[in-house]
Amino acid sequence: ISFSSVDSALSSLKNCQSYINNGMDIATHVALDLVESFNDEEDVNSMENVMLEYAAMDRELNHYMRAIEETVNQIKRDKPENIPDLKNLVKEKFAALESKNSDSDLQMNEKYMYFKDQLKEMRKQFRLQSNNDEAIEQIDEDIAVTQSQMNFICPITQMEMKRPVRNKVCGHTYEEDAILKIIQTRKQQKKKVRCPKIGCSHSDVKGSDLVPDEVLKRAIDSQNKQ
């Protein structure tokens, strides 16, 4: 049995997955824009619903691809004499996977979790800004700016970050190029990477644990404009 057409279909489905990922990235940026421009909470909530819809599509697509892959592997393993009904076999496996769906699956989608995390950080950032605006006359402005800028400095380069990434494990941020360079160097030496932030005990920083810190980047850009 030739599976070339099946492989081609799987490749197309993986392209669809990249469109879903792009859509989720755009929805996250739009939600952050809405918070930044003090838009109605209802608008932000609508973006969260969009994210959940994307997460549902992503889950369905993953189940369908898994059903195809498991069916193909089963046929290759069993080597039946007669050509089986691929369509029905895939349909059955897909239905079995979908029957186990729950709302919590969507909440655990990686991009949805990133969306929620960045939204929380953005709201926190704007509460801080709002509080600073109210208290600006009562404090030394230079000290306030200095404290704010401390969070913008990369612990590796000791310079202001341009593309900050946050470690999902310990929560610390670094300049993307700088931390990836260290990870690559240590990998060649077959050594683990300790978090460069002073006092952090996390001793195994991985590239897969790093996510763009869009909120911090916006805060740095905003500070520089001022």
CA distance 48 to 63: 23
The pLDDT tens digits for 176-185 are 999 999 999 9
CA triple 75-77-81, angle to 5 deg: 55
pTM: 0.73
The pLDDT tens digits for 183-197 are 999 999 999 999 999
DSSP 24-50: HHHHHHHHHHHHHTT--HHHHHHHHHH
Structure tokens at 39: 């838009």
Q: What is the CATH number of domain 164-225?
A: 3.30.40.10
Mean pLDDT of the 169-173 span: 93
For the chain, give every domain's residue range: 3-128, 164-225
CA distance 10 to 80: 22
